[in-house]
Structure 1
Amino acid sequence: MAREALRATAGLVGLTMGLTACGGGGDSGGPTAGPPRNGGTLRVIGSSDVEHLDTASANSTGSYGLNRTYARTLFGTRAANDFKETVPVQADVAAKLPSRENGGISKDGRTYTVKLRKGVQWNTRPPRPVVAADFVRGFERLCNPASPAGGIGYYTSTIRGMKDYCRGFAKVNAKDPAAIAAYQNEHAIPGVQAKGDDTLVFRLRQPASDFLNLLTLQFTAAAPKEYDKYVPDSPEFRQHTISNGPYQITSYKPGLSYVLSHNPAWRQETDPLRERHVDKIQLTLGQDSADAVQQQLEQGTADLSWDQPVPVTAIARLRRDRDERFNIRDTPSSSPYLVFNTRGRTGGGALARREVRQALQYAVDRTALIKIVGGPEVAEPLHTIIPPGNAGHFASNRYATAGESGDPARCRLLLAKAKAPKDLTLNFPYRIQGTHKRIAESIKENFGACGVKAKLIPDTGGNYYGETLADPAKAREGVWDIAAPGWTPDWYGNNGRSLIQPLFDGRTYGPNSTNFGGYDNPQVNALIDSALTAPDQGRAAGYWQLADQKIMEDAAVIPLLNRSLPIFHSARVQGARYLPTATGYDYTRLWLSR
């Protein structure tokens, strides 16, 4: 088994989609040819605000797209409608990609030296240069006690001395901005150092073939010294964001709206990944009906959806009409998956027992879920942690059922063998926008056929991730027992780390962790370590596969669907280019026809 797993290769090999991306028209983002037109207001509408706006803790696809407009990282990826073009790492604020050949990466793979691009500035008064110390500050903020990064494990497992730095930071008063700033300013991360204003040196615990990918994530964006005044991601912080990108937030009404306008300090020649065509970006929230959002896009009273999918009822019509405003974009993901709260006390801690979770694997009718989200052109059944199109994926189905329709009889039998409570009732919070309610209702019906009651709880406050799933206290209290989040990898290519580590490394469980269910298996943790220290991508992929197999043996979650994204824009939108990690179009590169 291990030898077979270790034969896998990572990187771009295997980036063959299980689904075929398609749409109504071409990939130009609109029917009008010609050069970009500047001006106008891009109108984006949707349902809920981001859980976190601060780049240190922002960890949703919506926040990725928003952060990109005003917060820059050392490296990034380019928006494109050809999936393969979105994968390679590109220089952003860094002047170039470091390599062994140009001396940017040491021979032992443990030291990275990054030179900064000249001319990148903050929109302060007067504008001032973005310097290496600003990136150091960004790293120092990642494990702040108030709003730590959900992906902190990426960096504590990679950067020298960061784990100890974070351990000390956890003891600081999370409500005192002065204490938080003092810790940052009085303690250093040995593996992140500024050498003058234009050079950063990273020292790693061991070689990491995906380290440049980690430096593309918005967690690692530069942070200006002004951020020391505020508790990270606090309401006060959210009113005082500072920009080094093409746009700046000029108005923010929590839960209601954003307005972004031109950052006067930004210059096109300093930014290889973004452009700037529209004058303003108006984001209006509170639109909880996907049908209403779609109607506004088709009528031209809005331009893009923020977080509402194209309604399933519209997909067949748009495909049939070959509508040039519509496409289905490649976004290899686990969306949604069902996660079990292994830390709760419901049913005497029933979900902490592997045998109960294994029985429930047979409950779900995936064919019903595929119909709900738009059919086989949009989704396919998923049975592994790592979806197709991602490093380390392998085809396996440990809990197979006939026709993907579930096996309630076997589910009931195994629950009885596991001596699960006969009156087991599970709290099941769900998001109200899009297809989430119908998915939750379908799973509730499936569990009911197994003799397990699911109590549906609508999340009407937009706090599904930040204040429910990512709060260990809520898990312990049994506020939720099962949930159906989605997971889009933080990056593609050499990305095994972005699928297994954040969701299943038990050592990173805590506030803001994306290991929502609190799963912790020392064998899986050890496989994660082996993958992270593997000498090449192929061997790393083998360890990720072994971890996947063990997680599925433990039935920590129920993988449900691998989905592409049906996406629509108004007739005004031209030049739209897709960002898979943001599940949306890059706001900085499109323009408006009028």
Structure 2
Amino acid sequence: MARKKLSPLAPLIVASAFALVLSGCSSAGGGDADAGEPQTGGTLKVLSNGDTDRIDPQLIAYVPSNSITRVISRSLLSYEASNDAEKRSALVGDLATEVPKPTDDGLTYTITLRDGATWDAPDGARPIVSEDVERGIKRICNPHIGAALGSYFITLIDGMTQFCDGFADVAPEAGAMKEYIEANDITGIETPDDKTVVFRLTEPASDFTSMLSLSTANPAPVEVLDYLPDSPEYRNNFISSGPYTIDEHKPDVKLTLTRNKSWDAKSDPLRKAYVDSIEMTMGVEVDAAMQQLQAGSADMLFDIQPGPANIQQLTAANDEKFSTLENGGVDQFMWINTKTDNNGGALQKLEVRQALQYAIDKSAVVQVMGGTDIATVTNGIFGPGINGYEEYSPYGDKSGKAAPEKAKELLAKAGVQNLTLKFPYRNLGSQPDIAQTVQASLEKAGITVELFPVPPTDYYANFMTNRENASGGEWDIALVGWSPDWVGGAARSVYQPQFTFDGTPQAYNYVDYNNDEANALADQALAASTPEEAAKLWHQVDQTVMKDSPIVSIAAKKKANYHSARVQNFSIYALAQNGDWANVWLTK
């Protein structure tokens, strides 16, 4: 069956006009401040609760995984690590010599690749060339595992929809996919020589350069075509373009990165690679991780954040190794499964979904997350810092206090009794406590909640994105978080992946939600001539979606980071929302 075409969205105006606010980060052990003379050597010890979602750059979607990708796979464009919000959100060249300017009325972007950038190929260092860039883009819509963030590119690059339609008919086997990729081109990508890549778009899109900072658009060496994307064989034969490469990966146990001897520091303006190796140990709980960092037996955190009690202690002690930043996302969305026939299809009724809006005590969740100093109640699809975010409350008041009697009234109006909801949760950090808080709120409204844990590594990659789990009624409500996919004017990266559907499934639109009125407003917002006009339209998008109640927006949380005393130059890499592994150094 041919792949159905995604409806293209209208262009964004200049991304810098909608710059995402990333704030509140202290100097945190050096950063842009004077951290002393850099030192090389040592092993950076990182603690993690779960594993990375993917190793394959095209498939990365989990924010913490950007820390890994940053050091093993170079992007066309990227960001400088910095503790200055404006500096770290400024797009710069990585493999590209500079950020390209659009030509041809905004339809054409020309990339020039930097000299000296190489693959750590099996036969020795080999230059990264323009064909590698096109190959990476082609892999986005492979029929084995499509890229979660691929929809941004598919209808935007001229000819890519047709390429992906053909790819959809190919057997999801390495040999067949390799043959298709090598035999077919994307007409909107031209490679006139080894150093030049020309992208031709279907419509002007000034956020296209921001998309090129995503690892989804990273170049790919020809050798990867011999393996299924992100398969064990792919991982065991990983070819690096960054300063480090994979030495060992034991899933859910350990990841060790060592120096890539083929990497040329002179070709890389963004990574200093001070440490000799990086060792990530998995399966660590929050309290144990914090104890190790404070004792100096470990250095940084991956998917773990300091817990509420830790935050209170660190704040009271004015510990400079603790820092926070706003990321523009909503930390706690509760998706409502409108695809299931559980409870006689009750969740397909608007009144029942509205009842859930009133039933949840968001203020109680904020307290579990660490209090109002680090978390805030949200009521829409956008978080603080996104152009289009406004404080408003379509259900109840802005405080987020529950109204269980109103919830009961709406359930009665819908003719629903004895509502029982299956509620998965990640067994990670404060997630169990948050799930129990939501459970308690719903039970006060007469709703029975059946909680069950899902391993953090599987939650998104295997459970929530498995569409059969939604249609088969494996879950009724589920908590997820969402951060903008890039830095800059990022409303599209919140709305499009989660709240649009045109027949082609999106990985993170768990119930195929779509609203034509909201889509039309989004088109207008993306074509707006001023940030102020766009903000009003995006807020209308927010209001329109929330009238349907596909989700309950609960709370936004500042990203909290902590590191050991021996970590110096802890500067934020914006896409990872964490200190940059590529630029920290360690005191002896």
Rounded Cα–Cα distance in structure 2 between residues aligned with 1:129 and 1:301: 39
Q: Post-superposition shift, 1:204? A: 0.7
Rounded Cα–Cα distance in structure 2 between residues aligned with 1:443 and 1:583: 27
Contact conserved, 1:209 with 1:537, CA < 8 A, in 2? no
**Match of 1:484, SS?**
strand
Trace 1:2-17 onto structure 2 (pairs within 5 A). Answer: 11-12=16-17
The answer as to 2:307 corresponding to 1:311 is yes
Rounded Cα–Cα distance in structure 2 between residues aligned with 1:528 and 1:30: 37
1:186 to 179, 183, 188: 183
Rounded Cα–Cα distance in structure 1 between residues aligned with 2:504 and 2:64: 23
Name the counterpart of 1:131. Answer: 129
The answer as to 2:457 corresponding to 1:462 is yes
The answer as to 2:576 corresponding to 1:578 is no
Letter matched to residue 491 of structure 1: W
Rounded Cα–Cα distance in structure 2 between residues aligned with 1:330 and 1:37: 30
Name the counterpart of 1:449. Answer: 444
Contact conserved, 1:29 with 1:573, CA < 8 A, in 2? no
Q: Post-superposition shift, 1:325? A: 1.7
Rounded Cα–Cα distance in structure 1 between residues aligned with 2:313 and 2:456: 32
Rounded Cα–Cα distance in structure 1 between residues aligned with 2:186 and 2:525: 24
Name the counterpart of 1:210. Answer: 207
Name the counterpart of 2:407. Answer: 411
Letter matched to residue 212 of structure 2: L
1:141 to 139, 142, 145: 139
Output one character per residue of 1:411-443: Cα deviation in whole Å (capped at 9) or x when no partner.
1111211223x1221111111111100010011
Trace 1:127-526 onto structure 2 (pairs within 5 A). Answer: 127-174=125-172, 176-287=173-284, 289-401=285-397, 403-420=399-416, 422-460=417-455, 462-507=457-502, 510=505, 513-526=507-520
**Match of 2:124, SS?**
coil
Contact conserved, 1:73 with 1:221, CA < 8 A, in 2? yes
Change in CA separation of 1:15 and 1:450 when aligned onto 2, cut-off 3 Å: same
Letter matched to residue 459 of structure 2: Y
Q: Post-superposition shift, 1:239? A: 1.4
Q: Post-superposition shift, 1:26? A: 5.2
TM-score, normalization by structure 2: 0.93
Q: Post-superposition shift, 1:107? A: 3.8
Output one character per residue of 1:52-96: Cα deviation in whole Å (capped at 9) or x when no partner.
221111100121111111111110112211222221211111111
Rounded Cα–Cα distance in structure 1 between residues aligned with 2:440 and 2:423: 12
**Match of 1:560, SS?**
strand
The answer as to 2:68 corresponding to 1:66 is yes
Contact conserved, 1:494 with 1:537, CA < 8 A, in 2? no
Output one character per residue of 1:479-531: Cα deviation in whole Å (capped at 9) or x when no partner.
11111111111112211111100111112753x61112321223333444444
Change in CA separation of 1:435 and 1:417 when aligned onto 2, cut-off 3 Å: same
1:546 to 536, 540, 553: 540
Rounded Cα–Cα distance in structure 1 between residues aligned with 2:388 and 2:489: 9
Rounded Cα–Cα distance in structure 2 between residues aligned with 1:384 and 1:201: 38
Contact conserved, 1:398 with 1:552, CA < 8 A, in 2? yes
Name the counterpart of 1:37. Answer: 39
**Match of 1:146, SS?**
coil
Rounded Cα–Cα distance in structure 1 between residues aligned with 2:525 and 2:400: 31
1:561 to 522, 534, 555: 555
Output one character per residue of 1:22-64: Cα deviation in whole Å (capped at 9) or x when no partner.
66x7562599831210000000111111222211111001211
Contact conserved, 2:43 with 2:279, CA < 8 A, in 1? yes
**Match of 2:502, SS?**
helix
Output one character per residue of 1:249-303: Cα deviation in whole Å (capped at 9) or x when no partner.
111111111111111111222112222100000011111x211111111111111
Name the counterpart of 1:21. Answer: 24
Contact conserved, 1:333 with 1:562, CA < 8 A, in 2? yes
Name stretches of at least 5 consecutive residues in structure 1 with no aligned partner: 1-7, 100-104
Q: Post-superposition shift, 1:557? A: 0.9
Contact conserved, 1:401 with 1:407, CA < 8 A, in 2? no
Cα RMSD of the aligned pairs, angstroms, is 2.1
Contact conserved, 2:377 with 2:556, CA < 8 A, in 1? yes
Contact conserved, 1:31 with 1:324, CA < 8 A, in 2? no
Name the counterpart of 2:6. Answer: none
Change in CA separation of 1:303 and 1:364 when aligned onto 2, cut-off 3 Å: same
Rounded Cα–Cα distance in structure 2 between residues aligned with 1:537 and 1:228: 43
Rounded Cα–Cα distance in structure 2 between residues aligned with 1:126 and 1:508: 45
Aligned length: 575
**Match of 2:482, SS?**
coil
Name the counterpart of 1:83. Answer: 85
**Match of 2:71, SS?**
coil
Of all paired residues, the percent bearing the same amino acid is: 35
Letter matched to residue 465 of structure 1: Y
Letter matched to residue 21 of structure 1: G
Q: 81-90 or 464-473: which moved more?
A: 81-90
Name the counterpart of 2:103. Answer: 106
**Match of 1:315, SS?**
helix
Rounded Cα–Cα distance in structure 1 between residues aligned with 2:34 and 2:390: 42
Q: Post-superposition shift, 1:537? A: 5.6
Rounded Cα–Cα distance in structure 2 between residues aligned with 1:575 and 1:521: 46
**Match of 1:465, SS?**
helix
Rounded Cα–Cα distance in structure 2 between residues aligned with 1:453 and 1:33: 54
Letter matched to residue 62 of structure 2: S
Contact conserved, 1:342 with 1:518, CA < 8 A, in 2? no
Output one character per residue of 1:224-250: Cα deviation in whole Å (capped at 9) or x when no partner.
001100111112112121111111111
Contact conserved, 2:292 with 2:298, CA < 8 A, in 1? yes
Letter matched to residue 544 of structure 2: K
